[in-house]
Structure 1
Amino acid sequence: MKLAFIGIGNVGLALANNLQKKGHEIIVAHNDSKNETVQNALHNNHNFTTNKLQEALDLSDVVFLATPFSANEEILKSLKFNGKILIDCTNPIGKGLSHGLESKTSGAQKIQEWSKDAKVVKAYTIYGFENLMNTSFPKYNVKPLMMIAGNDSVSKKIVSKLNADLGFETLDTGHLDQALHLEHLTLLWVKMVRRDGHHPNFTWAMLAS
């Protein structure tokens, strides 16, 4: 598939690199091709191409949003998605590692509000970028879990296929309002690792009888 990335920092680059290795075409979406993070991504992987934001969206099958949450409204309101899947990889983190929207709604629901013609799926937010760079845990006979949420079942099936390419097992947690709880899982991970010094290379897994 052709995958456009809005945001190609640590999270976006980790996902894009691994998906490119699985045969997907990566388009870095940015209106300034000389941007430092864009240039770093192109230097890191010569198979990436770059296009302006709307052009990249028009060319792509699926769009990844991996920007700082505070930038999302301004970016998204100028774009037309025409029913394409928009994977929300962002998190609204506030002061003191709190939920940036005071847990009144999820960041993903705001993303859907700002991009009404997109099919938003929340994914790739419950871990840090380290776990997106390397999903292999060879000591265990179980795949790491990626929890997702979204309102459109077909879109979630496509994201589940991307999860499989990345080495994750998918757990569909339900509609997009469930993204609020996934964002709380993010805060749990961030506080454990970034604040309290827990080693980052751990993930959730699902065991079912």
Structure 2
Amino acid sequence: MKIAFIGIGQVGSALASQLLSLDHTVTIAARNSNSDSVKTALAKYPELQVSSPQEAIAQAEVIFLATPFTANQAALAEVGDLSGKILVDCTNPVGVNLTHGLKSEQSGSELVQSFVPHAKVVKAFTIYGFENFEHNTYPGYGNLKPAMLIAGNDVPAKQVVSTLCQQLGWEAVDVGNLSMSLHLEHMTLLWIKMARVQGRGANFVWAMLQR
């Protein structure tokens, strides 16, 4: 599958490297191919390709948005037409003192959807820090896999993202339409507070048990 990344920081690099290992074609949509983040990613993962935003997006089947949340609108404005494209929103609106950056009045993913109304936005690859996107294996639990909760309004798009989740070793859990992203963003804040503030560390994930 041809996949493009808008944003290639810690989250983007972690996901891109794992997708590369599965033989997907991964391209960085880069306005500046000499930026520090692009050079860092290429130094670590030389198999990554780099193209202009418009070219990378035009060729991609799935696009990952992994920029800082405040950069989303400007970044999406640069990439051209996203009509019909699957856009995986990996961003979170984190506010002052680890509060919800949109005051819980709207999910960040719904705001992203308003920027690209004709794209198929799916919230995924949030709720954890980048460390678990680099390495999500937790031995000792039998066949139980860590859960990746996703949300979106387009069912076929969610099926594509679910397949990517499964390939990457996650159990994809569809929590509903895009408005449910608000709850996933609060799960991210909970994870950050537990991992970073309370000092629990990054090596924990959520799982889903069913009778």
Amino acid at match of 1:80: D
Residues 71-80 or 189-198, more deviating = 71-80
- Deviation track 1:45-66 (CA, whole Å, cap 9, x = no partner) reads 1111100111100011100000
What is the CA-CA distance between 1:145 and the residue it aligns to? Answer: 0.2
CA-atom RMSD in angstroms: 0.7
- Residue 20 of structure 1 is matched in structure 2 by 20
Superposition pairs of residues 6-155 of structure 1, within 5 angstroms:
6-78=6-78, 79-141=80-142, 142-155=144-157
Q: In structure 1, how many angstroms separate the alpha carbons of the residues matched to 2:167 and 2:47? A: 18
What is the CA-CA distance between 1:165 and the residue it aligns to? Answer: 1.2
Q: In structure 2, how many angstroms separate the alpha carbons of the residues matched to 1:12 and 1:75? A: 14
Amino acid at match of 2:148: M
SS at match of 1:136: coil
* Runs of 4+ with deviation above 4 angstroms: none
Q: In structure 2, how many angstroms separate the alpha carbons of the residues matched to 1:56 and 1:18? A: 19
Amino acid at match of 1:150: G
- Residue 192 of structure 2 is matched in structure 1 by 190
What is the CA-CA distance between 1:77 and the residue it aligns to? Answer: 2.9
List runs of 5+ in structure 2 lacking aligned partners.
Answer: none
Q: In structure 2, how many angstroms separate the alpha carbons of the residues matched to 1:77 and 1:56? A: 14
What is the CA-CA distance between 1:82 and the residue it aligns to? Answer: 2.1
Q: In structure 2, how many angstroms separate the alpha carbons of the residues matched to 1:80 and 1:192? A: 39
Q: In structure 2, how many angstroms separate the alpha carbons of the residues matched to 1:50 and 1:117? A: 25
Specify which of 153, 157, 160 is matched with residue 158 of structure 1: 160
Length-normalised TM-score, structure 1: 0.98
What is the CA-CA distance between 1:73 and the residue it aligns to? Answer: 1.1
Contact between 2:4 and 2:29, CA under 8 Å: does it hold in 1? Answer: yes
- Deviation track 1:87-130 (CA, whole Å, cap 9, x = no partner) reads 00000000010000000000000000001121000001100001
Q: In structure 2, how many angstroms separate the alpha carbons of the residues matched to 1:23 and 1:7? A: 20
Residues 191-200 or 75-84, more deviating = 75-84
Q: How many residues align?
A: 209
What is the CA-CA distance between 1:206 and the residue it aligns to? Answer: 0.6
SS at match of 2:34: coil
Q: In structure 2, how many angstroms separate the alpha carbons of the residues matched to 1:45 and 1:67? A: 18
Residues 109-118 or 73-82, more deviating = 73-82
